[in-house]
């Protein structure tokens, strides 16, 4: 069967692969487009396996909240570069995966990977096909689900890289968004002092006391200095203690008290946090190649 330009064009539209790759697949399958797609899918899976070890520290954070505000998912999907993270194919995959996660009640990324999309393929199969298309490692890094909520869920997304979901009790939509935006900006570790682990407080208190002793301050005020620094620590790491980003004259705790509202819990995802990125030194790489030549 003759491999026509229109046949190559159709295969490109259905797979997103390059022209030469499409033509080669059609030649190998004697113009059978379905067989060509299957062969390219298998090839794509092989490529995905080869790329799986490469660091994927860029990407997007997706958020989905149910209409009643009682269910939500926060999902991070990683790529190797910002360029691919902005690609329309990557964006479409991320959106479809987040939609599926909310609809199917999954609790983690592994369960999400096994879901079947509207296209009929699993999320993981779609991920492997995307790897073949864009040429980078793509990973479903993490997913967090909010359910069984006492309050209502509010969210804020800063660009595509930071996403926050907050469970707010007895507060309105504007307050919920403001609190979520504040968390995106300041990254608190806990809601309030009572949630900070005792061992973390003890460690900080020990450090602050050692610093006070080293400063040469009189022994009778060491404890006072130490406890003052512990209070400052709580102000920095808890949502209640932080100065509100839109009004530094009041803390978030004071803002919530005035509104008669309460934050039960929150989650903040930032793309790539905790992933060690490989730093390339191209000058050293060229020198090493020159020495080996």
For 190-222, how does the pLDDT look when each residue is reduced to its tens digit (9 = 90+)? 999 999 999 999 998 888 888 888 877 777 888
Residues 171 and 261: their CA atoms lie apart, in Å, by 5
For residues 100 and 132, membership in a common domain is answered with yes
Listed residue (46, 78, 143) closest to 104, CA to CA: 143
The larger pLDDT score, comparing residue 225 to residue 154, is at 154
Please check the confidence at residue 98 and state whether its pLDDT lies above 90: yes
Q: Report the pLDDT value the prediction gives residue 100, as an integer from 0 to 100.
A: 96
| Strands ordered across the beta sheet of 139-146 | 58-65, 72-79, 139-146
Look at the block and give the residue holding tokens 């804020």. 156
The answer to whether residues 36 and 92 belong to one domain is no
Local structure of residue 221 (DSSP, 8 states)? G
Range of the domain at 88: 58-148
**Quick one: average pLDDT of 223-234?**
91
Between CA 43 and CA 25 the distance in angstroms is 10
pTM of the model: 0.77
Residue that wins the pLDDT comparison between 4 and 181: 181
Q: Measure the CA angle with vertex 282, ends 277 and 285; round to 5°.
A: 105
- Average pLDDT score, the chain: 87
Residue 121 lies in a domain: yes
Closest CA to 236 of 187, 285, 269: 187
Rounding to the nearest 10 degrees, give the CA dihedral for residues 78, 181, 146, 252: 140
Residue 166 φ/ψ region, left for φ over 0, alpha for ψ in the -120 to 50 degree band, beta for the rest: beta
Number of domains composing the chain:
2
Nearest of 277, 280, 279, 281 to residue 79 by alpha carbon: 277
Q: In this structure, are 63 and 143 located in the same domain?
A: yes
CATH of the domain at 46: 1.10.8.10
CATH number of residue 139's parent domain: 3.30.479.20
Tell me the C-alpha distance between 129 and 135, whole Å.
10
Q: How far apart are CA 51 and CA 136, in angstroms?
A: 7
Asked if residue 136 has pLDDT above 60, the reply is yes
């Amino acid at each position: 069967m003759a491999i026509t330009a229109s046949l190559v064009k159709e295969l490109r539209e259905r797979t997103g692969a390059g022209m030469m790759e499409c033509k080669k697949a059609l030649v190998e399958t004697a113009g059978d487009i379905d067989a060509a797609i299957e062969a390219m899918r298998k090839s794509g899976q092989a490529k995905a396996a080869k790329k799986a070890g490469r660091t994927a520290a860029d990407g997007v954070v997706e958020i989905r909240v149910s209409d009643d505000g009682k269910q939500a998912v926060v999902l991070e999907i990683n790529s190797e570069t910002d360029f691919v993270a902005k690609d329309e194919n990557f964006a479409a995959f991320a959106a479809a995966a987040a939609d599926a996660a909310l609809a199917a009640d999954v609790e983690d990324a592994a369960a999400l990977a096994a879901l079947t999309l509207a296209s009929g393929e699993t999320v993981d199969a779609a991920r492997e096909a995307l790897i073949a298309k864009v040429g980078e490692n793509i990973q479903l890094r993490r997913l967090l689900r909010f359910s069984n909520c006492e309050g209502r869920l509010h969210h804020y997304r800063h660009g595509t890289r930071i996403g926050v979901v907050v469970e707010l009790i007895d507060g309105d939509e504007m307050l919920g968004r403001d609190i979520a935006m504040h968390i995106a900006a300041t990254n608190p570790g806990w809601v309030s002092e009572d949630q900070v682990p005792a061992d973390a407080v003890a460690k900080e208190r020990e450090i602050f006391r050692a610093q006070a002793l080293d400063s040469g301050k009189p022994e009778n005020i060491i404890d006072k200095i130490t406890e003052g620094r512990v209070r400052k620590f709580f102000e920095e790491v808890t949502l209640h203690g932080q100065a509100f980003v839109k009004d530094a004259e009041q803390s978030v705790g004071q803002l919530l008290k005035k509104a008669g509202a309460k934050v039960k819990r929150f989650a903040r995802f930032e793309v790539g946090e905790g992933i060690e990125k490989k730093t390339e030194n191209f000058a050293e790489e060229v020198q090493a190649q020159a020495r080996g030549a």
